[in-house]
Structure 1
Amino acid sequence: MLTRISLALAAAGLALGLTACGNSDAGDGNVAACKAAIAEQMQDAVDTDTEGHRPAACIGIDDKTLQRIAGELIEDELGDAFDKELEEAEVIP
């Protein structure tokens, strides 16, 4: 399960990074709204194995910020998934 989540998040992050190349101008986008949209898109990627794209809420967000947001979300998700797997792991005496 952890591998599936990791691969889906990595794919979503890569797709965002590649799509981000088309918009390198810094703008006045709402970073919080962008982060929420990317988080939703990453969850959809995990649930449906679909590729992501630059959400409309991220128009006006520069590439560096978009990549930072995606990286933060991936770190958070992988950390949560790892913690869950660790909690469910069977302790061998």
Structure 2
Amino acid sequence: MRTRISLAVAAAGLALGLTACGSSDAGDGNVADCKSAIAEQMQAAADTDAEGHRPAACIGIDDKTLQRIAGELLEDELGEFEKELEEAEVIR
């Protein structure tokens, strides 16, 4: 359960860090590859408290899309966390 909380916090930090020094120019980046790279970065951030940055796979992806991707990943993690809590009968 602690891992889920860490992932959620990491995702929130990444959503802010991804665009802090990124480009707002739309480019030819592959959104699916970018999303995978961000998911990997979220896991690494949860494990090591590393700060987020724009992964190489996300170069060329505009800031708005990066924020959407990070939000989707955060929603997924929070949904899984809520499901685990319900299964553990912590919340109903």
TM-score higher than 0.5: yes
Task: Extract unaligned runs of 5+ from structure 2.
Answer: none
CA radius of gyration, larger in: 1
Q: What is the aligned partner in structure 1 of residue 30 from structure 2?
A: 30
Q: 1:85 to 1:14 in 2, by over 3 A?
A: same
Q: How high is the TM-score relative to the length of structure 1? A: 0.83
Question: What is the rounded CA distance, in whole Å, between the counterparts of 1:78 and 1:30 in structure 2?
Answer: 25
Question: What is the rounded CA distance, in whole Å, between the counterparts of 1:47 and 1:85 in structure 2?
Answer: 21
- How many residue pairs get aligned? The number is 89
Q: 1:19 to 1:87 in 2, by over 3 A?
A: farther
Q: What is the aligned partner in structure 2 of residue 15 from structure 1?
A: 17
Task: Extract unaligned runs of 5+ from structure 1.
Answer: none
Q: Considering only aligned residues, what root-mean-square deviation do their CA atoms show, in Å?
A: 1.8
User: How many Å apart are 1:80 and its aligned residue?
Assistant: 0.7
Q: How high is the TM-score relative to the length of structure 2? A: 0.84
User: How many Å apart are 1:12 and its aligned residue?
Assistant: 2.0
1:15-51 Cα distance to aligned partner (Å, 9 max, x none):
113233xx01111111100000001001111111111
User: How many Å apart are 1:3 and its aligned residue?
Assistant: 4.2
Identity percentage over the alignment? 62
